[in-house]
Amino acid sequence: MKEKENNTRRNLLKGLGLGTMAGMLGMYPKAKAATEKEKPAYLNGLPPLKITNVKAIGLAPSGSNLIVIKVETSEPGLYGLGCATFTQRAFAVITAIEKYLKEFCVGKDVDNIEDMWQAAFVSSYWRNGPVLNNAISGLDQALWDIKGKRANMPVYQLLGGKCRFAIPCYTHASGNTPEEAANQVSSYMEEGYRYVRIQQGGYGGAGISGEPDFKKQGFARDTDQYMDQGKYRKDVPKLFETVRRQCGEEVELLHDIHERLDPIDAINVVKSVEPYHPFFIEDPFSPEQMEWFKQLRNATTVPLAMGELFNNINEFKEPMTNRLFDYIRIHISQIGGITPAMKVARLGEFYGIKTAWHGPGDVSPVGHAANAHIDLAIWNFGIQEAARISDLSREIFPGSPTMKDGYMWVNEVPGLGVDINEKLAAKYPMHTNSRWTVRKFDGTIIRP
């Protein structure tokens, strides 16, 4: 009897074991499916992605020629935008993009930004020209835009995240007299700006100096501008004195010489405004006259900004390591995009040099966004030129950065945050007009 009970118990346990195992086997596919479903997305990785097309979009909605590169990918609907604007030679950049850059890019891995930049930089053998650099810059920004969209993050997050909640900016005040400029500074202060660049007339006082002899003699073109260098040298300290007297000490004042003086005269002008403690003086010398910076450094303690005319990233190395200027004046589409700009910014951190990216009206909203994403992410940020984007441009470029209380804010979406309405953009074609010729009274060309 006892042996019979033991056999029954063994059979029961055996049956239970087989049933349990069968149940487990039956449940296993479901358990595996549940595990796969619950696995974090980052463990799945990103599928390979190729460039399928590169196109140039040229437009001039507010007067200046703008160029945007659109990089399309093998994932339907996923593309990136970058600013390739070289407003004075816009059609040459369009050709570089459509005839050369497209063939270079199609079929390449969209994720390998550094490799793509290095390859593009040397692919023409001769390098560092503004036309090809602008094309490379547009490509580079577009690839960062795609990478942000792929990662579902704004680009600044990929660069290290925010170092500040928004981006302090300076705007531009001008007038035919110091009093007019001071009145404009006051109005900007009421809008919340703490930093204002002041000019009298155009750069170097162009446009307010009367009719020059070269025009009376029919020399050069009617559209060529005239600058009275002697008058400008005398006007600058008067301008600073008037603005300080009317607007006080709270506002930070900037000024741009724009390389329009002989080096020794530029040194004297910078020294003359030292009592009004400028935030910085921009571009005292042309890139061809960099040796003068050592003498300027010995002559004054006024902070200096330089670099918007540099083509080659390596042009920043020597003056920065010798601390010859205080603010890095990079033009993102001139230097080659986000990738090289970040390298220069990081170099500046080691030498106590801050950033002041170039952000004029001949930068597209995509380019302003690229400036802003770097500005948010770097510790050694100094100041940013304000993005004064027209209502029409905002309609063409949805998601453009916005200005409020003297700060620039980005669109907090993946990528650079800016899109383009190509149909609307096509209604505002580019032109070939360029008015960058400035002359002395006798007709001699003034650089830049």
Q: Which sequence positions are flagged as catalytic?
A: 203, 258
Residues 371, 373, 91, 286, Cα dihedral to 10°: 20
Query: How wide is the angle at C-alpha 191 spanned by C-alphas 185 and 195, nearest 5°?
Result: 50
What separation in angstroms does the CA of 277 have from each of 15, 231, 270, 354, 381? 92, 22, 10, 18, 20
Backbone torsions φ then ψ of 443, nearest 5 degrees: 100, -5
Q: Which two structure tokens, joined as six digits, stand for 276?
A: 């009004």
Amino acid 37 reads K
Say how far apart CA 230 and CA 18 lie, in whole Å. Answer: 102
DSSP helix/strand/coil, 68: strand
List the 66-73 sheet strands across, edge first.
51-59, 66-73, 79-83
The closest of 366, 294, 371 to 139, measured between CA atoms, is 366
* CA distance linking residue 384 with residue 195, whole number of Å: 10
Owner of token pair 């329009």: 260
Strand 51-59, strand 304-306: pairing: unpaired
Q: What is the DSSP string of 210-234?
A: ---HHHHTT-S-TT-EE--HHHHHH
Rounded CA gap, 68 and 77, in Å? 18
Compute the half-sphere exposure of residue 201: CA atoms within 13 Å on the CB side of its CA: 18
Q: How many residues does the structure list for the chain? A: 448
CA 388, CA 403: separation in Å to the nearest integer?
8
